[in-house]
Amino acid sequence: MQWLAGVRMIFVVAMAWLALASPAWSARFSTVIIDAGHGGRDKGAFWGGVRESSLNLAVARDLELLLRRRGINTVMTRRSDVFVSLGSRVAIANRYRSAVFVSVHFNACRDTRIKGAETFYWGPSGRVLATAIQRRLAPRVGTINRGIRRHGFTVLVGTRCPAVLVECGFISNPGERGRCATRWYQQTAARAIYDGLMAYR
Ligand SMILES: [Zn+2]
C-alpha cells in the first residue's frame, strides 16, 4: 500500500499549503477591538476648537454600530471621554483570540497645508488590513490618499492580533478640519473602515 501512503502525504502537504497560502484562512476574525485614540486629559490634536479625541470616539461608535448590525463582536477600549493608557489598550486587545485591532485617530501637522488620510500598520497581517481600509477611506471621504505606512506605535507593536491605526484626516488643515467635524465625514470614514474589514475577512 505504498501508493496510499504517498497519496496521504500529498493530501497532508496540500492542506498545510492551503492553510498557509489562503488569505481567507488566516484573516478570519470574530471580534473587532475598536480603539478610539486619546480621551480624557489626553485630547490628542486640538485645532480651531476641534478635539481629536471627540472625533475619534464619534467614528469608533459609528464603526461599532456597523459591525454589531452585521453580528460581529466588538470591544471598545473606551466609550466615553476618559483617559485610557496605551498599555491598557494593548492589554484589552490581547485578551481576545481571533480578533483584529483598529485604532481610530485624526491627524495634525504644523504645516497646515497638509491634508489627507493614511493608515499605519506594523506586522504583515496588519499591512494587508491597512491596505484594504486605506484604498476605500481616502476616495470615499474625498481627501488625498497618503497611503499605508509602517510605524512602531505602541498599540501596533504590543497587540498580538492584526492591528492598524487609521488617521482619518488632518484637523490642522482648516478646510479639512471643517469637513472632519461633520457627521457625514465621520460616518463615511467609519463605513470605509467597516468595508475594509469585511474585504479583509
Ligand atoms: Zn491621535
From the number of C-beta atoms within 10 Å of its C-beta (0-12, 13-18, 19+), residue 37 rates as: buried
Spatial separation of the C-alpha atoms in residues 142 and 172, rounded to whole Å: 17
Half-sphere exposure of 96 (CA within 13 A, CB side): 23
Question: How much is the mean pLDDT over the chain?
Answer: 92
Q: What is the pTM of this model?
A: 0.87
CA 25–ligand 1 middle distance (angstroms): 32
- What structural domains does the chain harbor? 26-200 (3.40.630.40)
Distance 108 CA to ligand 1 centre (A): 8
pLDDT at 21 exceeding the cut of 90: no
What is the C-alpha to C-alpha distance for residues 50 and 181, in angstroms, rounded to an integer?
A: 7
pLDDT tens digits, 159-184: 999 999 999 999 999 999 999 999 99
pLDDT tens string 39-85: 999 999 999 999 999 999 999 999 999 999 999 999 999 999 999 99
Query: How much distance in Å is there from the Cα of 55 to the middle of ligand 1?
Result: 10
